[in-house]
Each structure stands twice: as C-alpha cells, then as structure tokens.
Chain A
Amino acid sequence: MTTAQATAPPGKALRAKVSPPTIFLTFLQIGAISFGGGVVAYLRDGLVRKKQWFDDVEFLEMTSISNTLPGLNATNMAILAGDRLAGWPGAAAALTGMCLPAFVFMTAAGMVYAQAHSRPLANAALRGVAAAATGLIAATWFKIGKTSLHGFYDAFFVMAAILGINYFKWGVPITLLAVGAVAIFTYRPHTVPEEPAQEQAEWISSLH
C-alpha cells in the first residue's frame, strides 16, 4: 500500500464526497446490467475506471478479501467498497443496490415458473438452459483455475475437495473444514513462497 499512497491515486480525492444515495445508485446500475456473471469485471469497470473511487491496488485487495470469505464476490465487494466509501451506511447502500435488480428478476422468474413449470415447453427450454449453464460454470472455473492454481499442492487440494464432495460424500461442511485445515496448514507461515505480484496483475488483466 505504500506505493499507492506515494502515487496518491485520483480516487482518494474524489472519494471524500461520495454519499450513500450515490453509492446506492451506482451499485443499482451495476446490479442491473451485469448479465452473464463476472460481476467483478463490471465492478472494476464502474468503480475503478469510470468513477475512479479506487485504484487497482485497492480493488485487488478487496477482491482477495472477498474471495477468502463466505458470500459471493458481487455482494462481498459491494460491502467492502461501500464501507470504504461511506462507512456502514455506504456498505448497506451498496449491498441493497447490488441485490435489488436480481431480487426483482428472480422473484418474477419464480412467479412465472410457478405458472409454467408443468408445461412441457417451459421445461424443454429450461433443460437447454441447465445444460448451457453447466458449460458456462465449468468455463468460469476453468478460467479461474488456469490463472490461480500453481504447483502440486494446489492441484492436490482441488482433487481432495472434489473427491470429498462427489466420491466420499463427506458433505460440504466437513470437506471444507477438513481439506481447508490441511491446506492452510500446508501453506503455514514461513513455508509460503513470496506471492508473485505478476500473477495478480495477470488476473486483473484477465477481467476483459
């Protein structure tokens, strides 16, 4: 962060004036247009490039926090960014704005589905959607894995989690706790090689 302070990013100056209603409207817009997943890319475009509320260093720090915590990237990022902009009212405004369009969309989808799910044509279309969604989600994780996985241990822990869920049927909580604990212990302090900064730069540039 020392480099970020030294170069005095433009965001710091603009940020002082941001009010919760502005934050709400900004996140409402991102929450309404971010079709097709990859909300983080939309957030970076809106918050770093257009609004200049954050520089890439701070944005990257927020993504790494939100990846480590439970909760979705979209909502975790909204909370972290909102808090940094205007404290807890900012976090609440950002979370509400981010979620509202999706809430309306999905509740409406539920109303339609309740009427239509016994109709064969709706089911036929949804079978196609489900099959395509499988390919989309696989592609999303393939891309994440390609940029973030390095070395034998990473591959081992990916396999261990997959086997825990699908072969040994440990269930999600046990798999998460067991494999997570072993993984964190494996990467315990003083054994962690220095994180190459280039890897993070590559990841940011992979967001379109």
Chain B
Amino acid sequence: MDQLPALSRVFAYLSLLTIGGGMAAFPEMKVLVVDVHHWLTSDQLTHVYSTGQMSPGPNMMMVAEVGQLVSGPLGAVVCALAFFVPTGILTFLVGRLWKRLEHWPWRDSIQKGLGPVAIGLAVGGLITFGKTAITFVNGALFGWITLALGILTFIAVVRTKVNPVWFILGGAAVGFFALR
C-alpha cells in the first residue's frame, strides 16, 4: 500500500519515454523497478514484460502486472492509470493542435527526426531486454536453446503471416520441456 505513490510516479514518468513504443522505456524501467525500488528481480521483470507480448491490446499493460505483484489489484489500477492517462491527455491535446500546426515548418522536422531515434531507442531497449532473456548464466545448454528460440521466432515472424502469439506460445512449450 505504501508503494502506491512511488508506483504512480515511476510509471507516469516512464510513459513519457515511450516514443515510438514501450520498448524505448525498458532500460529506464529496469533501472527503476529492479535497481532503485527492488520491486522485482531482473528475471521477474523480463518474465512480466514477455507476458505482455501475449496480451491483446496495448502490450505495455504489463505495467498493471507489475502493480499487481507489488501492491495487489489497487497497485494494478494505479500503474495502469499512471502509465496511460497523462500521456493520453497529452496525445488528446496535441491531436487537436495538429491541424493548426500544419504550416509550422518544424512539424515535419520533428516527425522526420524522431522516427530513427525511436527505432534506435527500441533496439537499445531490446538489447537490454535480450541480455536477460537470451543468456548463458544458467548454463551453455540454456543459452543455446534461448538463442535458437529467439532466432527462429525472428525468422518466422519476418517470413510468415502467422499470428506471432503462436510463436510465443511455442516458446512457452519449448521452455516448459527444455529450460527446466
């Protein structure tokens, strides 16, 4: 219960960093959730973030799972509101301004400039994430299996039109039998 103010502060702040998507905020989330507040271990955060990839809708609703684990259902509500409402209001206001900014020459510059930065931040976040997801710390066998799972999923998603949630569930099945 006493964690609620900290949860709302942390997730409202993190939401402002999600330019282009949630992965951009992952490195900062890891610092705050794991190192600063000790709410979860690094492995737990990776598990929770991965579970978000199986969810319908916005996959960053994984913040509600963090809240649930730290403070129960109230924590889940607080995290979800903190993460989605402030940036939501910002989007609402900018959405209304957008038309009026049509002839503001910097509008295109901002879009053009932030595009590649958003991709770089996401890849940077993915590297941080991948270091705990694909790892040899639990032995070479686990390392190679996780690496193979990552590469095979990458190829399958790029090359096929199958809904990726099946590959994630496939990963769960492989893990269940091979990563004990």
A residues apposed to B, CB below 8 Å: 30-39, 61-62, 64-76, 79-80, 83, 88, 91, 95, 98-99, 101-103, 105-107, 109-111, 113-114, 117, 120-121, 123-145, 148-149, 153-162, 164-166, 171-173, 175-176, 179-180, 183-190, 192, 195, 208
Contacts and interface: CB of A to CB of B under 8 A. Distances in A.
A72 B18 CA distance: 7
A107 B65 contact: yes
A32 B56 contact: yes
Contacts, number: 383
A32 B57 CA distance: 6
Contacts of B21: 72-73
B117 A183 contact: yes
A22 B59 CA distance: 24
Given A106-B61, A157-B116, A76 B153 contact: no
Q: Which applies to chain B's interface (DSSP): helix, strand, loop or mixed?
A: helix
A179 B124 CA distance: 13
Given A76-B91, A132-B171, A134-B133, A162 B51 contact: no
Interface residues of B, number: 113
A144 B119 contact: yes
B115 A154 contact: yes
B113 to A, nearest CB: 4
A72 B60 contact: yes
B95 A80 contact: yes
Contacts of B68: 106-107, 110-111, 114
Given A132-B167, A141-B122, A171-B28, A157 B113 contact: yes
Interface of B: 15-25, 27-28, 31, 44, 46-69, 73, 76, 80, 84, 87-88, 90-92, 94-96, 98, 105-106, 108-130, 132-134, 138, 142, 145-147, 149-158, 161, 163-168, 170-180
A161 B124 contact: yes
A31 B168 contact: no
A70 B117 contact: no
Contacts of B170: 132
Q: Which 8 A-B pairs have the closest CB atoms?
A: A128-B175, A161-B120, A132-B171, A135-B153, A110-B68, A165-B124, A189-B105, A102-B57
Contacts of A165: 27, 120-121, 124-125, 127-128
A124 B176 contact: yes
B106 A101 contact: no
Given A172-B24, A189-B106, A137 B53 contact: yes
A26 B130 CA distance: 35
A142 B154 CA distance: 9
A157 B55 contact: no
B36 to A, nearest CB: 12
B106 A142 contact: no
B65 to A, nearest CB: 4
Contact of A158 (B44, B47, B120, B178): B120
